[in-house]
Structure 1
Amino acid sequence: MGLLRLVLGDQLSAGIAALQDLDPARDVVLMAEVMGECTYVPHHKQKLVLVLSAMRHFAAELAARGVRLDYIRLDDPANTGTLTGEVARAMARHRPTGLVATFPGEWRVLEAMRGWEEALGLPVEIREDSRFLCPLPRFRRWAQGRRQLRMEFFYREMRRETGLLMDADAAPVGGQWNYDAENRRRLERGVVPPPPRRTPPDAVTREVMDLVESRFPANFGTLDAFAWPVTAEEAQAALEDFIAARLARFGDYQDAMASGEPVLFHALVSTSLNLGLLTPRACCEAAEAAFRAGRAPLNAVEGFIRQILGWREYVRGLYWLKMPDYAATNALEATRPLPWSWWGGETRMNCLKQVVRQTRDLAYAHHIQRLMVTGNFALLAGLDPAPVNEWYMAVYADAFEWVELPNTHGMALHADGGVIASKPYAASGAYINRMSDYCRGCAYDVKAATGPDACPMNALYWDFLARHERRFGGNPRLAMPLRALRAMPPAKREALRAQAAAFLAGPEMRPEA
């Protein structure tokens, strides 16, 4: 017997580090569906189906290549329910000389892995995950000694190192590093986004859907619209569909929101990237090739590459640099419980209703919906970061802690005190009205800050600034709204405070059951 090689559910790449130098004649690959990974947060039904179906398809591909496989199904009567338990059972079955694993995506899994060598009495090798474009030691070198860890400067270094969107003279294509200012258009009337390519469930996926419905009937979400790619071939087809049909207008409308248009011009590749069905380099190179061929404008291609090469790599590096203490920070001392409406309860706020219902039906919302609707509301209302982070982890099909936690905890909630963002992304109803049509169908008046039908975002926004006025008083990026706050007559400030307090004490903020 040779080595036992572990492949996790988000490591479904043929070239994953744990499978490099595999000896098919002697080594065994272990894959395990375990209840512990299915229940550490109450995952959306679509996320459970996505991961389990993708694992089964990947296992079948390995077996077809002649790889010796030890695959544990969730409904196996002997299943221990934990990753550690299944590794121990596999060690006893196969008596390998050691175990090889790839660096995981979550701190809790790494902590478990680090205990296996002593517990099992065999060598355990944890290899760097080579799928990422910035190895963790490289990120630590970049971060060392820096007073601020801003993504933009990291992104520029990654552009230079990879050569993506760079001219021969080592200057950025077009003369600018970042075209974000050109990517903020509202969806105009008459602009109709093309529907994305759907991947209908095959027999394997339908079997997993039945398993999930029977084992997790009370979990959030529906399976009716499940159409996520579950193989590398399907993921590649979805990427090509985006490049051909939506990339050209992705830049212009990447911050837009519209009723009945959950995808707009977004790529829908994050699930495939985070499972390992696509590589970040392949996605970036496909987008760059479209630009070089004249099929997509620079603002769209740069915006897409920045999300992957810049933001995705940056938040992974930051997660592993700052964990485990990062998750426990609560710089704004937010303590309010999560409202029941976030699990499908009724709300009169159309923006929240749209995003929560879309999330329930698709296990998906694009980054502005997450940041500037649910995230902004959680920030303004002072929701406790821990249950908010758990909610984001639970409801989105692409959520794994290395990518979810920095985005939610740092970017949306400012709970890290400014490690990621130099200012909190706080906004009143005016922002949502500017970037969407949500306010048109709302019971609240987005132009009113006080009164029975006033948009709650408005009073909550000013109340948030007032609560944290001292903390952000020296922040130049908040100087303008803070000047406006200080110029308000005392009676107006008190009316806004009372309006916010009444909403926070009202039925829309009923805690989750």
Structure 2
Amino acid sequence: MTASFTREPGVRRLVLILGDQLTPGLGALQDIDPQRDHLLLAEVMEEASHVPHHPQKIALIFSAMRHFAEQLREQGLQVHYVTLDDVDNSGSLPGELLRWTQQLDPAEVHLTECGDWRLEQALRHCGVPIHWHADSRFLCSREAFADWAQGRKQLRMEYFYREMRRRNGLLLNPDGTPEGGAWNFDADNRKALPCEVQPPAPLRIEPDAISREVLALVAQRFPDHYGSLEGFDYPVTAEQAERLWQHFLVRGLADFGDYQDAMADDQPFLFHSRISAALNIGLLDLRRICAEVEAAYRAGDVPLNAAEGFIRQLIGWREYVRGIYWLRMPDYAEGNAFGNSRALPAFYWTGETRMNCMRQAIGQTLRHAYAHHIQRLMLTGNFALLAGIAPKAICDWYLAVYMDAFDWVELPNTLGMVMHADGGYLGSKPYCASGQYIKRMSDHCQGCSYKVSESTGESACPFNALYWHFLMRHREPLQRNPRMGMVYRNLARMDDARQQALWDWGERLLARLDAGEML
């Protein structure tokens, strides 16, 4: 498809809309004059390939962009849309902004804050003066988070979350105290999935003509990207995203609290909402979602631990990691507190491993571009932490393979929470665990080639020796951490021979990773 230009006299504004800004109430879309303002959306190779994004993720964004452009046109707005196969496509968003600015000669160019430091810097330095708008879809602005963080020796999500609850009046008693007498019911949210409990069937959304066209384009242009396009069923419009949200609100939220940390063979979704991708590209409104969760609790439809746990993920972690991202970039991305340098094992891209838990998590990622937070934190992330994978390698992998991964949310979660590579700035301790945690929270160990009851030897679960090896090689910085005291006391109780055996087997496992051998 080729774009044709007609110089428009008296163009007042050109507004660039990014692929994760598909919201009618976007800051840059306020005060639009349908007669004199022009809107621009562009599919560009640079954003689709700076990491090898999962094909379903590329398809989601391109299809949602095309649907949003049609919605804007139906409102009578003047929209310029550049498809990936447009022969005049410059290949980058700064290039497209410069190209269309030169053609339309607008008096002003407007843009809402980006979700990626790399992209925002490229646009700020592309030679086009831009009027920037705050992204009001978030509850806490960049400036407000910086004000909250100023003067604090440590930033902790729990205190930020409480402030967000107060500020937004969520789950509070009339006197301002937290509903249920506590701010956090996370201790109630750590149940494994019983055999008799059946998660709701996932909502399937059939691709329409626009999505089918995009899927064909992505299959042609990104044949070597990790992941399958088969079974694509993600919402690409606000109406479809609303259907997905209501499906979860009615069928999943009540059990979300109890089983949000659970994992099970061949159960990729369990009681999770799957709305994060739609929320992150702007198809759902955060404020309304939180209000509806609270209303469901007030009506007696869902227990408090489910409502509080879900709201905490949205206004706690989600807003917190975004604040840290914009507070600390670009230096934050270079964090490597443990000095890790090991390459990412090949099985992260293939799913070919004897570890059933990793095979389950990576396999569903290949199929769906999805894994829930515990699979990311305590399986693929935990293994990367224990194995000493270079932070950039695992951060790039998460950014590439997950449907909802955008730099502002992926980088702090992976580098800070998963890898503890920021030295404890985001979280107070490393989230490391042996195979015993996986056994407690899943049924993965039952179908595994390894034995979780063993720590050394060919049949032993690799997580076990790697866990103790990690603790031993980082003993100096970690044993001073108050939250790691019990772990190191347990290590100290082991006799020297046992510690040496664990160290030696850990060394052998790491050598196998370096040699490219399958674990």
TM-score band w.r.t. shorter chain? over 0.9
CA distance in 1, matches of 2:414, 2:516: 22
Mapped contact 2:342–2:514 kept (Cα < 8 A): no
Does 2:334 match 1:324?
A: no
Aligned partner of 1:62 in structure 2 is 72
Aligned partner of 1:35 in structure 2 is 45
Amino acid at match of 2:112: T
CA distance in 2, matches of 1:243, 1:37: 33
Does 2:119 match 1:113?
A: no
CA distance in 2, matches of 1:450, 1:411: 28
**Offset, 1:57:** 0.3
CA distance in 2, matches of 1:421, 1:342: 25
- Which residue of 435, 438, 445 corresponds with 2:444? 438
Mapped contact 1:337–1:511 kept (Cα < 8 A): no
Write the deviation string for residues 477-500 of structure 1: whole angstroms up to 9, x where unpaired: 111111121222221111111111
Aligned partner of 1:469 in structure 2 is 475
**Offset, 1:204:** 0.3
Does 2:467 match 1:495?
A: no
Does 2:394 match 1:376?
A: no
Does 2:55 match 1:49?
A: no
CA distance in 2, matches of 1:356, 1:69: 39
Does 2:155 match 1:145?
A: no
Does 2:99 match 1:89?
A: yes
Does 2:86 match 1:80?
A: no
CA distance in 2, matches of 1:267, 1:168: 30
Amino acid at match of 2:226: F
State the secondary structure of the residue aligned to 1:377: helix
CA distance in 1, matches of 2:411, 2:347: 22
- Which residue of 24, 47, 71 corresponds with 1:14? 24
Amino acid at match of 2:81: Y
- Which residue of 402, 412, 427 corresponds with 1:406? 412
Aligned partner of 1:309 in structure 2 is 315
CA distance in 2, matches of 1:251, 1:124: 44
Mapped contact 1:274–1:398 kept (Cα < 8 A): yes
Amino acid at match of 2:447: G
Aligned partner of 2:214 in structure 1 is 208
Change in 2 beyond 3 A, CA 1:408/1:377: same
**Offset, 1:345:** 4.7
Does 2:372 match 1:366?
A: yes
State the secondary structure of the residue aligned to 1:364: coil
Aligned partner of 1:297 in structure 2 is 303
Does 2:516 match 1:510?
A: yes
Amino acid at match of 1:235: A
Write the deviation string for residues 67-90 of structure 1: whole angstroms up to 9, x where unpaired: 001110000001010111101111
Q: Which runs of 5+ in 2 are unaligned?
A: 1-10
Write the deviation string for residues 110-139 of structure 1: whole angstroms up to 9, x where unpaired: 1012113xx23xx31111000001111111
Mapped contact 1:259–1:354 kept (Cα < 8 A): yes
CA distance in 2, matches of 1:345, 1:62: 41
Mapped contact 2:16–2:110 kept (Cα < 8 A): yes
State the secondary structure of the residue aligned to 2:15: strand
Does 2:272 match 1:262?
A: no
Mapped contact 1:358–1:364 kept (Cα < 8 A): yes
Write the deviation string for residues 20-52 of structure 1: whole angstroms up to 9, x where unpaired: 011111000010100111111000010000000
CA distance in 2, matches of 1:4, 1:448: 63
- Which residue of 56, 59, 81 corresponds with 1:71? 81
Mapped contact 1:99–1:125 kept (Cα < 8 A): yes
State the secondary structure of the residue aligned to 2:14: strand
Mapped contact 1:340–1:511 kept (Cα < 8 A): no
**Offset, 1:507:** 5.9
Does 2:350 match 1:340?
A: no
When the two chains are superposed, the root-mean-square deviation of aligned CA atoms in Å is 1.1
Q: How many residues align?
A: 508
State the secondary structure of the residue aligned to 2:230: coil
Aligned partner of 1:24 in structure 2 is 34
Aligned partner of 1:166 in structure 2 is 172
Amino acid at match of 1:497: W
Does 2:493 match 1:483?
A: no
CA distance in 2, matches of 1:457, 1:168: 47
Amino acid at match of 1:504: L
Amino acid at match of 1:59: A
CA distance in 1, matches of 2:23, 2:515: 43
CA distance in 2, matches of 1:171, 1:490: 51
State the secondary structure of the residue aligned to 1:30: strand
Amino acid at match of 1:411: M
Does 2:235 match 1:225?
A: no
Mapped contact 1:339–1:509 kept (Cα < 8 A): no
Mapped contact 2:265–2:360 kept (Cα < 8 A): yes
Change in 2 beyond 3 A, CA 1:345/1:156: closer
Amino acid at match of 1:240: Q
CA distance in 1, matches of 2:445, 2:516: 23
State the secondary structure of the residue aligned to 1:101: strand
Aligned partner of 1:275 in structure 2 is 281
CA distance in 2, matches of 1:481, 1:171: 34
State the secondary structure of the residue aligned to 1:505: helix
CA distance in 1, matches of 2:249, 2:202: 11
Amino acid at match of 1:95: D
CA distance in 1, matches of 2:79, 2:515: 49
CA distance in 1, matches of 2:517, 2:331: 27
State the secondary structure of the residue aligned to 1:307: helix
Change in 2 beyond 3 A, CA 1:163/1:467: same
CA distance in 1, matches of 2:352, 2:169: 49
Amino acid at match of 2:494: M
**Offset, 1:370:** 0.1
CA distance in 2, matches of 1:509, 1:261: 32
State the secondary structure of the residue aligned to 1:506: helix
Amino acid at match of 1:499: W
Aligned residue runs from structure 1 range 116-131, under 5 A = 116=126, 119-120=127-128, 123-131=129-137
Write the deviation string for residues 442-477 of structure 1: whole angstroms up to 9, x where unpaired: 000001011110000000000000001111121121
Write the deviation string for residues 182-238 of structure 1: whole angstroms up to 9, x where unpaired: 000000011000112111111100000000000001111111121110000111111
Does 2:424 match 1:418?
A: yes
CA distance in 1, matches of 2:444, 2:426: 28
CA distance in 2, matches of 1:438, 1:345: 15
CA distance in 2, matches of 1:269, 1:248: 16
